[in-house]
Structure formats: structure tokens, C-alpha cells
Amino acid sequence: MNQSTNPASNNSHQDEFRLDGLAPEHDDFSLEAETVEADLDHEPVQDCLILNTEDAEQPETSAQIDLDGMDKPIHAVSVINNAGTNNSEQFHEVSFQNANSLLESLEAQDVPVHYQCREGYCGSCRTQLLEGEVHYTEEPMAWINDDEILPCCCIPKTAIRIKLT
């Protein structure tokens, strides 16, 4: 791990083997570096990064495993949304059938839920489960209280009632 980055310690493999990256290049750092040809008119990268381009509840091909001869169960999901500006509660009646996670299902039905990781480790999507049961498709790591669930990594097992805070 003592590979020198000093270009003076010259050997022919120096260019392909640099453990700590870019330092040598910057000996000739210049603000007018000719390599810079930024395309300033392009869209923010974020636009090509949005996670769901299709409706998770109306998929063209379902990501869930189809069970032979069985209809995929539809679970009613009733949502109390407390996030309104003046503490007024909103109610949404939606259903879960095809999505990979409860979070995706809610998003597909225009119920916005906070998220960051979408993998159960950040806790952003923490939601209160008032009624019903869920199944975790991934081991949840974020801290949750006994009456809470992480919609990003679970799917309903029964009809559920949840409260978004």
C-alpha cells in the first residue's frame, strides 16, 4: 500500500496503477483546462433517476411471482394522512395488489410518503400501522416503534389501516 504517487518515481506502470487517484494530474491544474466542455443545457441528472417510471400498481409485467391458479390477493389500504398544513387529516382509500412494496403502491396511487433509502435502513418512511399485518420482504434495519412499519420494505398481508405523520 506504499505505492508512491510521485510521478518522478517513474516506471511504466505508473499510469495504470494509482492507488490514490488523481493527485498527479493536478500538477498542471489550470482553470482553462481544455478538457472542460460542459453541456450546460442538459437536464439535471435527477430526471433520469426517478425510480418508478411506470405505475407500480398497473405493471405491464408483474414483478411478483405468479402463483399458479391463484388470483393475486388485493388488500385494502386505508390511509390517514396527517401531513396537511393545518393539522387537518386527509383520508385515502387505496388498494395493494401488484407493487413490490407498500411504498411503491402508495406512490402509484398518489399518496406521497417520505423516503430516502427505500431499503429499510434510513427510517424516513416510518409509518404507524393502526390495523392489519404486513410482511417484510427485506429485514428492516431502521429504528421503529412497536406500532410502526417501514412501507419501503413490506407488503400487506391483510387489509391495513395506516397513519402517515
Partner 1 sequence: MSYTTFNQKTFDTLKQPMFFGETVNVARYDIQKHKIFENLIEKQLSFFWRPEEVDLANDRKDFIDLPEHEQHIFLSNLKYQTLLDSVQGRSPNVAFLPIVSLPELETWIETWSFSETIHSRSYTHIMRNVVPNPAEVFDDITRNDFITRRAVSVTKYYDELIEKCSFYTQLGEGTHTINGKVIDINLRDLKRTLYLTMVSVNVLEAIRFYVSFACSFAFAERAKMEGNAKIIKLIARDEALHLTGTQHILQIMAAGKDDPEMGEIAESCKDEVREIFLDAAEQEKEWAGYLFKDGSMIGLNQHILAQYVDYITDQRIVAIGLPPIFNAKNNPLPWINSWLNSDNVQVAPQEAEISSYLVGALDSAVDTDDFGDFDL
* 88 is an interface residue for partner 1 by CB under 8 A: no
Q: How far is the CB of 11 from partner 1 (least distance, A)?
A: 20
Backbone φ, ψ for residue 129 (5° rounding): -100, 110
CB 106 within 8 A of CB 151: yes
* 43 is an interface residue for partner 1 by CB under 8 A: yes
The count of C-alpha atoms lying within 13 angstroms of the C-alpha of 85, restricted to the half-sphere facing its C-beta, is: 0
* 159 is an interface residue for partner 1 by CB under 8 A: no
* 150 is an interface residue for ligand FES by CB under 6 A: yes
125 binds, options ligand FES, partner 1, none, Cβ within 5 to 8 A by partner type: ligand FES
Q: Which stretch binds partner 1 (CB under 8 A): 1-9, 49-57, 72-80, 89-97?
A: 49-57
Residues numbered 52 to 71 that lie near partner 1 (CB under 8 A) are none
Rounding to the nearest 10 degrees, give the CA dihedral for residues 148, 72, 118, 127: -20
* 106 is an interface residue for partner 1 by CB under 8 A: no
* 118 is an interface residue for partner 1 by CB under 8 A: yes
E-assigned strand segments in 8-159: 75-81, 90-96, 127-131, 134-136, 148-149, 154-156
Residues numbered 72 to 131 that lie near ligand FES (CB under 6 A) are 115-118, 120-125
Concatenated DSSP letters for 76-115?
A: EEEEEE--STTS--EEEEEEESS-SSHHHHHHHTT-----
156 binds, options partner 1, ligand FES, none, Cβ within 5 to 8 A by partner type: none
The footprint of ligand FES (CB under 6 A) covers 115-118, 120-125, 142, 150, 152
